[in-house]
Amino acid sequence: GAVVSQHPSWVICKSGTSVKIECRSLDFQATTMFWYRQFPKQSLMLMATSNEGSKATYEQGVEKDKFLINHASLTLSTLTVTSAHPEDSSFYICSARVSWASGRADTDTQYFGPGTRLTVL
Amino acid sequence: GENVEQHPSTLSVQEGDSAVIKCTYSDSASNYFPWYKQELGKRPQLIIDIRSNVGEKKDQRIAVTLNKTAKHFSLHITETQPEDSAVYFCAASRGYSSASKIIFGSGTRLSIRP
């Protein structure tokens, strides 16, 4: 397997503030990471694909200026929720895909982080 | 765009019985189909996956079947146990291609009755 961590695990913030969430692949390199949000009792909705060293690809309907993604290294991607509002409250989960260069057999597999529960007051 | 439909949304089975969850996908270029199990408040965990070059894969009590022609794939859990209670998501992906994002189904909440 492979381990993906997320920080923080939960955060409460005031409306209008920005929140940064980190996603790290701990024991493998990840050229590609993905960010999802999940509302209670619903499925995972892909927000964006984060590629190391290049701009993220956002899904339709996701505001790129609202959800800033940076993938500066092969083990770290960050999601910043800017000017957060109560409707942004959700469970944000990242996943990381094993890099092709690793030579591993599981390069198709996405390993998920534990998630970050964001509550905006 | 790509779409994955999953049925049923909820499923309750007696402990020891089998559970079957079915999915269909729309993107004919999909070639990788993982299944994830998610317990409340936790991350999705990969439980089994199948690639388009095989029709069936089994791992102990869990099996997955794939019908590429019909674009259907299914998860079968036999001899269900209380710890199988969770939400299960099917997913489809183009795998090795650059557009390798995973599209998830809507999920099935499985409850095992003692």
Q: Amino acid identity, residue B114?
A: P
How long, in residues, is chain B? 114
Q: Show residues of chain A in contact with B93, CB under 8 Å.
A: 108
Query: Largest Cα–Cα distance of chain A, in whole Å?
Result: 45
Taking only the tens place, the pLDDT of each residue in A103-118 is: 777 777 889 999 999 9
Taking only the tens place, the pLDDT of each residue in A8-49 is: 999 999 999 999 999 999 988 888 899 999 998 899 999 999
> pLDDT 10s per residue in chain B (114 long)?
679 999 999 999 999 999 999 999 999 989 999 999 999 889 999 999 999 888 999 999 999 999 999 999 999 999 999 999 999 999 998 865 544 788 899 999 999 999
| Cα–Cα distance measured from residue A77 to residue A111, given in angstroms and rounded to the nearest whole number | 14
- The helices-and-strands tally (H runs, E runs) of chain B is 0, 11
Residue B52 backbone dihedrals phi, psi, to 5 degrees:
-70, -5
Exposed / middle / buried, residue A1 (Cβ in 10 Å: 0-12, 13-18, 19+): exposed
Does position A102 have pLDDT exceeding 80, yes or no?
no
Residue A11 tokens read as 């955060």
Q: Residue A96's beta-bridge partner residues?
A: A33, A111
Distance between B85 CA and the closest CA of chain A, angstroms = 14
Share above pLDDT 70 across residues of chain A, in percent, rounded to a whole number: 98
Query: Which residue would you say has higher pLDDT here, A52 or B48?
Result: B48
Cross-chain CB nearest to B95 (options A34, A108, A112): A108
Q: Residue B34's beta-bridge partner residues?
A: B49
